[in-house]
Structure 1
Amino acid sequence: MERLCLDCGTLLRGRADKKYCDDSCRNNYNNRLKTGDNLVIKKVNSILKKNRAILAALNPNGKTKVTSKKLISAGFNFEYHTYSYETQNGNAYIFCYEYGYLILNDDSCLLVKKEEKLWLG
């Protein structure tokens, strides 16, 4: 029974369970399988990074008020965030990593920065 490389289709010789002719073909095959998922993840991460950068640039002191239009004109995408936090009085803060905002009634947003120490390890 002939066995062919899963990547390039070359006839395989050697072990009965061999799937690829060499490491290059193995890497090419596996990279091709992951490409679709990676593109979606890269796109979402790119949007999250941009949102974070916009919030950081407009909020250098840790707390400020800006209009929603100013966020939108800077390219902020309200559809993407990392988490939300609801206070005891019912205010819902939306966060993009450590930077967040609270949508106010007068078409403005209160920008905040959450000071949190992360323990890595």
Structure 2
Amino acid sequence: MKRECPECGDKIVGRIDKKFCSDACRNSYNNRVNKDSKNLIRNTNNRLRKNYRILEELNPEQKTKTSRGKLIEKGFDFNYFTSIYTTKAGAIYYFVYDQGYLPLENEYYALVKRDS
């Protein structure tokens, strides 16, 4: 039974369970299949990554306070976060993975890092 590489169509030689003719074909195939098919997903992930890096940079001590202006100056986008946590007291924290922020008075934010 002739086996063909799903990427280039060449004959596969070697082990019976081998799926690709070479590492290059395997990488090429997987990169093509796993590529974000829509720009929306890629752009959303990029914005989340940027927000995370900004929060991480401004919050090296795991808990601090910063202004809205400083966040915006660094390019933070308040429309992108991964989860919301509401405390028993009703305070609403917005999280980008494990880095979070809590809106305070006078356009200030408390920055926190959630314990693993």
Q: Give the corresponding residue for 2:106.
A: 106
- Shift of the 49–35 alpha-carbon distance from structure 1 to 2, 3 Å rule, reads closer
TM alignment of 1:58-77, pairs within 5 A: 58-77=58-77
**How big is the shift at 1:105?**
1.5
Q: CA RMSD in A?
A: 2.2
**How big is the shift at 1:35?**
5.7
TM-score (norm 1): 0.67
TM alignment of 1:71-110, pairs within 5 A: 71-110=71-110
Q: Give the corresponding residue for 1:23.
A: 6
- Shift of the 40–63 alpha-carbon distance from structure 1 to 2, 3 Å rule, reads same
**How big is the shift at 1:23?**
3.0
Q: Deviations over 1:33-91 (max 9, x none)?
A: x7643x22111111101100000000000110100010000000000000000001110
For the residue of structure 2 that corresponds to 1:93, the secondary structure is strand
Distance 1:91 1:112 in 2: 13
Q: State the identity %.
A: 40
Runs of 4+ with >4 A deviation: 25-28
Distance 2:36 2:88 in 1: 43
For the residue of structure 1 that corresponds to 2:71, the secondary structure is helix
**How big is the shift at 1:25?**
7.2
For the residue of structure 1 that corresponds to 2:76, the secondary structure is coil
Unaligned runs of 5+ in 1: 1-21, 117-121
How many residues get paired?
92
Distance 1:113 1:99 in 2: 5
**Alpha carbons 2:62, 2:113 under 8 Å: kept:** yes
For the residue of structure 2 that corresponds to 1:23, the secondary structure is coil
Distance 2:97 2:81 in 1: 8
Unaligned runs of 5+ in 2: 10-27
